[in-house]
Amino acid sequence: MRTLAVDYGSRRIGLALSDESACLSSPLQVLEIRSPTDAIRQVAEIATKQSAQRLVVGLPLNMDDTIGPAAKTAVRWGRELAAACHLPVVFIDERLSSFAADELLRGQKLTRKAKKQRQDALAAADFLQAFLDGKLKALNPVIFP
């Protein structure tokens, strides 16, 4: 089952894609967005183009496991994306994925801008791989307002 992972942000969205067997995750791209609606349109087009059968949307939960404004926004946006794509969406905890992406980029001779352009796709690939490996479980979206 091909899965498209989405690291949602207000300015950039990182995307990663699994292989057909849902074993391996690869960074796909980072989108610069102008609005949440624009983001839905772009991601829906990519999901169709890549033949995605499922969406995994990362939730930036607080370190104390509470649900903050960013996570609530990601849930609302993810639900709209699922409706636009007609695909199931799975929400997962992505708290440390940006840190993991930073670690991968550390030591590479990249400008700050070049790192930012890669970080979000690497973060999406990180939490997608953890999900595919069974290390991250789906969060029940019913608990989110």
C-alpha to C-alpha distance for 129 and 5, rounded to whole angstroms: 9
Q: Which of the given ranges, 44-48, 67-71, 109-113, has the highest pLDDT on average?
A: 44-48
pLDDT at 144 over 50: no
| Neighbour tally for 90: CB within 10 Å | 18
Which CATH number do you get for residue 11? Answer: 3.30.420.140
Do the beta carbons of residue 122 and residue 24 sit within 8 Å?
Answer: no
What is the distance between the alpha carbons of residues 97 and 114, in angstroms, rounded to a whole number? 18
Domains of the chain: total: 1
Provide the mean pLDDT of the chain. Answer: 85
What gap in Å lies between CA 82 and CA 54, rounded to an integer?
Answer: 9
Residue 71, C-beta contacts closer than 8 angstroms, at least 6 positions apart: 59, 60, 61, 62, 144
Q: Domain range holding 69?
A: 3-143
Higher pLDDT, 98 or 136: 136
* pLDDT digit string, tens, across residues 88-125: 999 998 875 555 555 555 666 666 666 666 778 888 99
